[in-house]
Amino acid sequence: MSVEPEPASALFAGPFALATLSAPGGPAFPALVTPDSRVLDLRVALDEESLTVRRLLDRWESALPRLRALAAEPGPQRRGPLSDFRVHAPVEPRQVFQSGANYRQHVIDLHVAHRDPADGRSEEEARAEAAEIMDRRAAQDLPYVFIGLPSAITGPYDDVVLPAWAEKPDWELELAAVIGRPAYRVSVEEALSYVAGYTIANDLTDRSTVFRRDMPQIGTDWLRGKNAPGFTPLGPWIVPAESLGDTGDLRLTLRLNGEVMQDESTKDMIFDVACMVSYVSGTARLLPGDLLLTGSPAGNGMHWGRLLRDGDVMDGSITGLGAQRTRCVADCVAEGS
């Protein structure tokens, strides 16, 4: 079951986006979607029955000119309106890299909220200290990145099952970069040339399991906290990097049951996309179709004292990338059964 998206006059920036769709009862297929909601089956257009979005990304540099041409052609091959199809996550990545503590205001909020109860300073003083730490971190430190599981990814309009063990499930709307060619040890200056496009991710987190209660010295447990099936709604599509342009001032907005919870610009990022691509590639070999989630801005559930519950509906949008809508449902299977 899924929650259908609301109609939009402009779905995304640029002349086309890449999606993975399916007709009722049919297999998923790679699609070119135009801003007027028309769909082109790329298996037919490119005469390749086994084609997927990830295979397109494997040859992104040669595929991009052909996709531009297809988007500009009149529509005899088009299969109909987007509303006729189910929208899946746009790509199945091999690897998912996730950035934490990357929005200045968000980290300042966390610093103040979690300061020692015996700290006698005012909130203003604590915020000033945190701001100095963030400025120093941006100038001297490195991004904080960890690994996610592709199995946590789900579609942009699919229901999200809240596991019975997840006591404090939270939302984290994020800009996700999609890699378009293998990248290893690339510089900041050349890093963006390895990004094929961008999409929307909601990196759900169970706050109650982020830190191990049985072994507090070991630190964070991102497997338990972030990687339940469906904990990463992705999409609805990939907008090419050339269409989105500069990602330095995109607006991220998340509404919970219609109420704005997150509303921030990517200007608040401590480390930008180029810096993070370069940093990750310094250790790992990035592959076409891989995802790099760039962190979440202020306004998470822990900030509001309101975590996700059965029946909640999340609407997430990012400038130029469209919107996703997901509903939370309680897990009917108890842990261990």
pLDDT-derived band at 290, boundaries 50, 70, 90 = very high
**How distant, in Å, are the alpha carbons of 100, 104, 138, 186, 270 from that of 131?**
17, 8, 11, 30, 11
pLDDT-derived band at 9, boundaries 50, 70, 90 = very low
With a cut of 90, say whether residue 284 has pLDDT above it: yes
Mean pLDDT of 201-205: 96
Written as one string, the DSSP assignment of 201-270 is: EE--EEGGGSB-SS-GGG-B-HHHHH-STT-EEB-S-BEEHHHH---TT-EEEEEETTEEEEEEEGGGBS
* Joined tokens for residue 188: 């900041």
For the whole prediction, is pTM greater than 0.85? yes
Neighbours of 222 (CB within 10 A): 17
Query: Residue 129 burial (CB < 10 Å; 0-12/13-18/19+)?
Result: middle
> What is the pLDDT at residue 148?
96
Domains of the chain: 17-87 (no CATH), 96-330 (3.90.850.10)
C-alpha to C-alpha distance for 246 and 90, rounded to whole angstroms: 22
> What is the pLDDT at residue 337?
45
Mean pLDDT of 33-55: 94
With a cut of 60, say whether residue 8 has pLDDT above it: no
82 vs 112, more confident: 82
Mean pLDDT of 290-296: 97
Read off the pLDDT of residues 157-201 as tens digits, 9 standing for 90 and up. Answer: 999 999 999 999 999 999 999 999 999 999 999 999 999 999 999
List own/partner pairs for 26-31 with CB under 8 A and 24 or more apart. 28/88, 30/55, 30/56, 31/85
Beta-sheet pairing, 195-202 with 313-318? unpaired
